[in-house]
Chains A and B, each alone.
Chain A
Amino acid sequence: GESVGLHLPTLSVQEGDNSIINCAYSNSASDYFIWYKQESGKGPQFIIDIRSNMDKRQGQRVTVLLNKTVKHLSLQIAATQPGDSAVYFCAESSESGATNKLIFGTGTLLAVQP
């Protein structure tokens, strides 16, 4: 029979509020992390990345926090806008050396209410 689709957690926020999207990663040896935004019918769009030697990195309206102790990553979006509505994925690179193999989380659906 058909496989059941992944159940995406949903975060619903009001326009103008701050959003925090969380991600738990699996491999304590992972040394590089990326957040992606995916809109319907499009490929994932790079938002921000962070390496394991940092615990915080800021971009335009976005901040990524990394807590290696509990293997947790978060994406903060300031002043959330309707255009931010999308599915957000965290991805980790868990193989050392010359590789770009990314392991993706299941994603979080961000719904911005006007």
Chain B
Amino acid sequence: KAGVTQTPRYLIKTRGQQVTLSCSPISGHRSVSWYQQTPGQGLQFLFEYFSETQRNKGNFPGRFSGRQFSNSRSEMNVSTLELGDSALYLCASSLGETGEATEAFFGQGTRLTVV
């Protein structure tokens, strides 16, 4: 069974630009969560999608958004990039069925550098 796939692996963008990152979850998994990892703040939850709906959201500005497609693939978008958005963006996949939290498996991440 293939793992969680994130594309691209590396990105360099200029301040003010926007960026879209992609995540394909494990087959059969319907929940996709996004996290930002930086040396200063560690791993922080951005949002979670389940069945094409945002189910939970972290404390990030509205410049960070996401969506999920009917095949469970998810994208996250960051608009008007700032230098502080430079980070490793991680996607986690889980079954996501209602009732209780379950094992979440991470992709390799997308390393975004804003210059």
Chain A residues within CB distance 8 Å of chain B:
3-6, 31-32, 34, 36, 42-46, 49, 51, 89, 91, 93, 95, 97-107
A101 touches B43 (CB 8 A): no
Do residues A104 and B43 form an inter-chain contact, with CB atoms below 8 A?
Answer: yes
Query: 8 Å CB contacts to A: which residues of B61-115?
Result: 90, 92, 94, 96-109
A98 to B49, CA, bound (A): 11
Chain B: number of interface residues, binned into ranges: 35 or more
* Inter-chain residue pair count (beta carbon < 8 A): 82
Please indicate the chain B residues that have their CB under 8 angstroms from the CB of A34 in the complex: 103-104
Given contacts A34-B103, A36-B106, A43-B106, contact A100 B48 (CB under 8 A): yes
A97 touching B106 by the CB < 8 A rule?
A: no
User: Within 8 Å CB of B58, what residues of A?
Assistant: 101
User: 27 A-B residue contacts at CB 8 Å?
Assistant: A3-B38, A3-B39, A3-B40, A6-B39, A6-B41, A42-B109, A43-B4, A43-B109, A44-B106, A46-B105, A46-B106, A93-B101, A98-B97, A98-B99, A99-B48, A100-B48, A100-B96, A101-B33, A101-B45, A101-B48, A101-B56, A102-B101, A102-B104, A104-B42, A104-B44, A105-B42, A107-B42
